[in-house]
Amino acid sequence: MTVATAAWDRAALLVSPMLATLRPLLERLAPDRFPTLDDLNALAREHDVRSGGGAAVAFVPAEAARSRAFDARYEIRIFREGRVPTREGSWHDLFNALAWLKFPRTKAAINRLHHDEMIGRPDARERGTARDALTLLDEGGVIVACADPSLERLLAGFRWKELFWARRDDVAAAMRFAVLGHAIHEKALAPYKGVTAKALVVPTPVEMLARPGDALAAFLDERAAALLAAPGALASTRAFHPLPILGIPGWTPENADPGYYDDATVFRPGRSRAKASAGA
């Protein structure tokens, strides 16, 4: 099965670890048919979802023939009008809409920051580092709640086996992983070992990790939006750590074997460690 041919199967979506944060929204959708724009807009109104410019978000039919100029002003149109082009029957666009519903502050912050970067440029199609970083997170991001700084250091240092195997119990106790990027959501339809996301780590009090899923998601949404808006947050596309997400304990039965993490084509050591090993 490919993503393009995946049939609507809500029951399968509800048990996917990669879609766990979306589960309360998926439960609101019809079990026997692909969601419509009306379904999504009803939820957007219920949650009062707003663009980065404060406009009410509405998911509208995508134009059949879109020019480069139209695409270049995509974020500006959303910022000003709240109208998010959404193709009927598109998994990619569905997951983008669900991300707006689940992480409204973060998506609004991404939209606002795109807008602010574009305004004043003679050619809005030109992309700078900040917009590249925003796109990486928007498409492929995972918000990581972390109550133990030593675990964040292992993540940032590409020390995958130490993090996900040697400290497996600590990860379960002190980390949570909420997929934000709609391209990663889409990959959940046909997951494979090499799926790699970009992690935005949110320092989180350990007691917050025990809160119900919606409460934790709201906390992460607020904190992630604030982190993105901080000075210098988007100075490099390396601002977000690579994260092979099927290494997360429990996200695939295969990672119950420590040998799973020995695959260096997926669990790469990182540039600095690779150079050190080569020079040894």
pLDDT in tens, 189-201: 999 999 999 999 9
The mean pLDDT of 68-96, rounded to a whole number, is: 88
User: Do 143 and 270 share a domain, yes or no?
Assistant: yes
Q: What is the pLDDT of residues 157-191, one digit of tens each?
A: 999 999 999 999 999 999 999 999 999 999 999 99
Q: Which residue range(s) make up the domain with 44?
A: 3-133
**Each residue of 207-234: pLDDT tens digit?**
999 998 899 999 999 999 999 999 999 9
Rounded-to-integer distance, Cα 117 and Cα 73, Å: 12
Q: What sign for the dihedral angle of Cα 20, 25, 229, 58?
A: positive
Q: What is the pLDDT of residues 229-260, one digit of tens each?
A: 999 999 998 889 999 999 999 999 999 999 99
Same domain, 84 and 168: no
| pLDDT band of 279, cuts 50, 70, 90 | very low
One domain, residues 180 and 77: no
- Alpha helices (runs of H) in 126-176, residue ranges in sequence order: 129-140, 149-156, 160-161, 168-174
| For residue 64, pLDDT beyond 60 | no
The CA distances from residue 66 to 59, 63, 69, 85, in Å, are 16, 6, 8, 11
Q: Which residues of 136-152 are buried (b: 16+ CB within 10 A; e: fewer)?
A: bbbbbbbbbbbbbeebb
Are 175 and 203 part of one and the same domain? Answer: yes
Q: Average pLDDT of 74-78? A: 92
**Rounded-to-integer distance, Cα 131 and Cα 260, Å:** 35
* Same domain membership, residue 158 and residue 274: yes
119: pLDDT confidence band, cut at 50, 70 and 90?
confident
Distance CA 140, CA 243 (A): 10
Higher pLDDT, 128 or 135: 135
Give the domain-ending residue among 73, 108, 133. 133
Which pLDDT score is estimated for 277? 41
Domain identity same for 116 and 203? no
3-state secondary structure of 51: coil
Question: At which of 133, 161, 181 does a domain end?
Answer: 133
- Domain end, chosen from 133, 150, 169, is at 133
Residues 72-102, buried b or exposed e (16+ Cβ, 10 A)?
Answer: bbbbbbbbeebbbbbbeeebbbbbbbbbbbb
Same-domain status, 171 and 102 = no
pLDDT at site 274? 44
* pLDDT number for residue 270: 75
Structural domain tally of the chain?
A: 2
Amino acid 131: pLDDT: 93
Distances (CA, A) of 253 to 13, 14, 163, 169, 247: 17, 17, 17, 16, 10
State whether 201 and 230 are in the same domain: yes
| pLDDT greater than 70 at residue 121 | no
Cβ–Cβ < 8 Å for 156, 113: no
Q: How confident is the model at residue 278, as a pLDDT?
A: 42
Mean pLDDT (whole number) for 82-101 = 97
- How far apart are alpha carbons 190 and 1 in whole angstroms? 7
End-to-end CA distance of the chain: 44
